[in-house]
Amino acid sequence: MDKKEILKEFSSDPDRFYKVKLFADEGFVRKSCLKCKRFFWTLDSGRELCPDDADDTYSFIGNPPTTKRFDYTQSWKEVESFFVKNGHTSVSRYPVVCRWRDDLYFTIASIVDFQRIMGSKVVFEFPANPLVVPQTCLRFKDLENVGVTGRHFSSFCMIGQHSIPNSQGYWKDQCVDLDFRLLTDQFGIKKEEVVFVEDVWAGGGSFGSSLEYFVKGLELGNAVFTEFQGELGKHTILDQKIIDMGAGLERFAWITMGTPTAYDCCFGPITNKLFQKIGISPNSELLRMYFTEIAKGLEKFEDLIDVRKHAIKKVGLTDEQVNRIITPLEGIYLIADHLRTLIFAISDGALPSNVGGGYNLRMILRRVIATMNRMNLKLDLDELIDAHIDYLKETYPELNSSREDVKTILKIEAGRYDESKSRMEKVASKLKGRGKPLTVNELITMYESDGITPDYLKELDVISEIPSTFYAKLSDLHQSEKKKGVEKLPLDNLPETDMLFYKDDPMEFEAKVLRVFDRSVVLDKTSFYARGGGQEPDYGTIAKYKVIDVNKHGGVVVHELEGGIPNEGEMVKCKVDSLRRENITKNHTSTHILNSSSRSVLGSWIWQHSAFKEADHARLDITHHSPLSESEINEIEKVANSVIKQNIPVSIDNFDRGTAEQKYGFKIYQGGVVPVKSVRIVSIKDFDVEACGGTHVKKTGDIEIIKITKTKRIQDGVVRIEFVSGQTAFDYIKQKEMDEIKSVEESAEKEQIQNQKEERKQKAREKIPVLLEKISAYHLDGTTTIDEIQIHMTKSSKFCFTSSDQYDEFFHINFGKKLVKNNPMITYVGIFEAGSTIRIIVYSGEEASKSKNAGNIAKSMAEILGGAGGGDEKFAQGGGKDTSKKVEAINKAKSMMLGLE
């Protein structure tokens, strides 16, 4: 939808869309900006320019328009007390990790807290009406601005003022009246300073008018009145109109303090701490001028690099001043901002990684480290984390409990960065010599493949500036990862299936066939659990056909059959394979137990990443930074089995989603988003509470036992735990014990064989010299046998031969070699069995080999034995498997050694 079109339409009827009661009561006049033509409302009838174009833009820096001074924490207290005093409920912030939406990693606006996606529709669920919330929002699209512009943050507090106009809530008149009084009464800003600018908002198929409110050129808030749906011209009024007023708490603090930047008044003691480290004072006239120019320049120039250059020129800063004051300041602001974001994200269960939303977190931590290195700052991150949390806990007490976890995670991540440095250095030094500058796409590829941030390249002077579009592009790239495709099946006009597995869950039932297509059948009711939440489907039979798959499409359960298919309209008998179901059920409850066991053993950052439950095996993937150690695995298993031993009841209750979220928090969304209004809460007392649509045992004792079979780090930040439970676990343990016994036996056997071999070797070593002695003493012309070695010594031929079992390879090799060395006229053949083969070793002495070639002898024998042999005239070996030809082979050898052939 074209916003400009809508704005033109709305502004053509200001009485209908913009003129609220306050404007009439106070005497606001409507003006059109001389420069940009936008319409705005003001009490100053002489004002001709909109806040963006007027000369007073950012004149609050150094000269705040309020008598009161409030920092970040105090500002929230003021805002909160004002709205509570005026009938609003103050709601605690929602997590910054947006687990209730499939399309967002992080909470990007306060209204997101209350949006739930049902099908393709966004519905709103308010825990109170009207309400106000200090919602921390994370945005990574314009990271290059952070620290530089004075007003951009990677995380900020959006004051969310929300109302549904009904008997409790209000609409435009009261909203604008409240916002005006917040500024004037509560913050003490003069009425004449407040300017409202006409605008519109459109998104997600709906749209409405909005009023942005400014003081001294600073946009403090934007009240959006979501009122219509559809295309402009053909639009209709929404059943549920919504007020979405979002204001920046950091800006509220800034306008009352008038510091050079919003950073100076929003990080509590942190910025001052850092200023001391580098020895600069932030409250100088020079900074006031510089950041006022930056603020003005942001409206004028597209590129931040130009904004900065322009401001430097305008204020007349020297290079020395820029290097000594501005650049270090920017670094300090960046460090403070990024650390604050990491604290919120890690506290809410996100981990830096190279996938999904974890991407941005790793990126900003690396920016922090690169900035510290570039500035040569030796900072203790733990100390800064403590200082941040000590300051933030006034508004966000929940951060206090995750202090140590945040430190742990950042330490691990910083360590990883250090480890990868030498590799990064290599890549960077190669780039240094290259003539042309790196493109944004090249920079993105480098970060994706090597984890090299542009900040690091800047630190090493490979690049001088980070391209302005880098962070936006990277963020877009990873946002689109979190989207899903939908399969289209012929299921039109079917009622939702009556899901018996959520009711009395009979394992045998009768049902009516409502639709048949391909090999699929839809019944009016079913007990077959449809694949979902990582739980595999039930099998069994429908009519006489095998059920091989079951899936849910919207509220309709589709069974896939094998062997045939019933007819539409038929009543069929159905039977669920109850043993399979029972095993899957045990595995499902086990994943819940293991998930919470892992969290209690490893840390608060453990979330279920995904899970899979089959009948005979299951796995749980958890978010964790490192592979699991043996002792961690044992500890998790121990905790899980103690929960089983306690035989805790597993209870299932249905809650209104909002109630469940308020009661248990967002930890219930371990298995991901629940797209229904009523959530099914599965709780194992306080130990584990999850929103889950799966089947579960009645008491933890029913599982009997959980056994972890394997763990593996499957991706950055995710560890897989494979496990079995119940009978499968007992079988597994038994099998493992048997395997162990077997392997002990096998190794004993191996050892025995090894020992025997050693013994024989030793024997051979002792025996060989004795034998050689005996043989050399035997000079008679004739034959004899010593120790089963036949000795043949005639004038025409001299040889020794043995096929005795007592001799092995070691003997033959060593004996034969020495024998022919002692007597070059001799030939030696040893034949022995090794496994299923008969092997031959032949030596022929220096002289003997001239007529009795060892290679030929070995080859001829091996051929007879059905094998092969080879070597040279002095030494050869061979073998074959035909044991029945052993005698024939021996005879052949003898005849060759006798010189008969």
Query: Would you tell me which residues interact with Zn ion (CB under 5 A)?
Result: 33, 35-36, 50, 53, 692, 694
Minimum distance of Zn ion from residue 337's CB (angstroms) = 30
* Integer Cα distance of 329 and 192 in angstroms: 34
**48 burial level (CB within 10 Å; 0-12, 13-18, 19+):** middle
Check if the beta carbon of residue 311 is closer than 8 Å to that of residue 297. yes
Helix or strand or coil: residue 850?
Answer: helix
Minimum distance of Zn ion from residue 38's CB (angstroms) = 5
Minimum distance of Zn ion from residue 690's CB (angstroms) = 6
C-beta closer to Zn ion: residue 413 or 688: 688
Minimum distance of Zn ion from residue 247's CB (angstroms) = 21
Minimum distance of Zn ion from residue 53's CB (angstroms) = 4
- Which two tokens mark 747? 């190794």
* Integer Cα distance of 270 and 356 in angstroms: 30
Q: Which of 493, 194, 145, 457 is nearest to 330 (CA)?
A: 145
C-beta closer to Zn ion: residue 424 or 611: 611
Minimum distance of Zn ion from residue 222's CB (angstroms) = 16
651 pairs with which residues across the strands?
A: 683
Q: What angle do CA 331, 336, 339 make, to 5 degrees?
A: 115
C-beta closer to Zn ion: residue 275 or 612: 612
Minimum distance of Zn ion from residue 638's CB (angstroms) = 22
841 pairs with which residues across the strands?
A: 830, 877
- Which two tokens mark 495? 């009622």
C-beta closer to Zn ion: residue 561 or 691: 691
C-beta closer to Zn ion: residue 559 or 592: 592
C-beta closer to Zn ion: residue 195 or 764: 195
Minimum distance of Zn ion from residue 199's CB (angstroms) = 12
Check if the beta carbon of residue 228 is closer than 8 Å to that of residue 200. no
Minimum distance of Zn ion from residue 36's CB (angstroms) = 3
Contacts 24+ apart (CB under 8 A), 286-291: 286/315, 286/317, 286/321, 286/325, 287/260, 287/325, 287/329, 288/61, 288/62, 288/260, 289/315, 290/260, 290/315, 290/317, 290/326, 291/58, 291/61, 291/150, 291/260, 291/261
Residue that is written with structure tokens 């009795």 in the block: 852
**Residues 6 or more apart from 606 whose CB is under 8 A from it?**
595, 598, 599, 622, 623, 624
Minimum distance of Zn ion from residue 698's CB (angstroms) = 15
C-beta closer to Zn ion: residue 265 or 618: 618
C-beta closer to Zn ion: residue 33 or 336: 33
Pairing of strands 236-248, 508-517: unpaired
C-beta closer to Zn ion: residue 265 or 594: 594
C-beta closer to Zn ion: residue 35 or 736: 35
C-beta closer to Zn ion: residue 43 or 772: 43
Check if the beta carbon of residue 690 is closer than 8 Å to that of residue 696. no
Minimum distance of Zn ion from residue 57's CB (angstroms) = 10
Minimum distance of Zn ion from residue 24's CB (angstroms) = 24
C-beta closer to Zn ion: residue 426 or 663: 663
Check if the beta carbon of residue 717 is closer than 8 Å to that of residue 625. yes
Minimum distance of Zn ion from residue 152's CB (angstroms) = 22
Q: At what angle do helices 403-419 and 327-347 cross, to 10 degrees?
A: 120
C-beta closer to Zn ion: residue 35 or 430: 35
C-beta closer to Zn ion: residue 622 or 692: 692
Check if the beta carbon of residue 447 is closer than 8 Å to that of residue 473. no
Minimum distance of Zn ion from residue 366's CB (angstroms) = 35
**3 burial level (CB within 10 Å; 0-12, 13-18, 19+):** middle
Pairing of strands 131-138, 89-90: parallel
Check if the beta carbon of residue 853 is closer than 8 Å to that of residue 899. no
Alpha helices in 827-885 (DSSP H): 854-864
Q: What is the largest CA-CA distance in the chain?
A: 141
Minimum distance of Zn ion from residue 534's CB (angstroms) = 7
* Integer Cα distance of 214 and 230 in angstroms: 30
C-beta closer to Zn ion: residue 304 or 692: 692
Helix or strand or coil: residue 374?
Answer: helix
* Integer Cα distance of 676 and 616 in angstroms: 30
- 700 backbone dihedrals φ, ψ, rounded to 5°: -60, -30
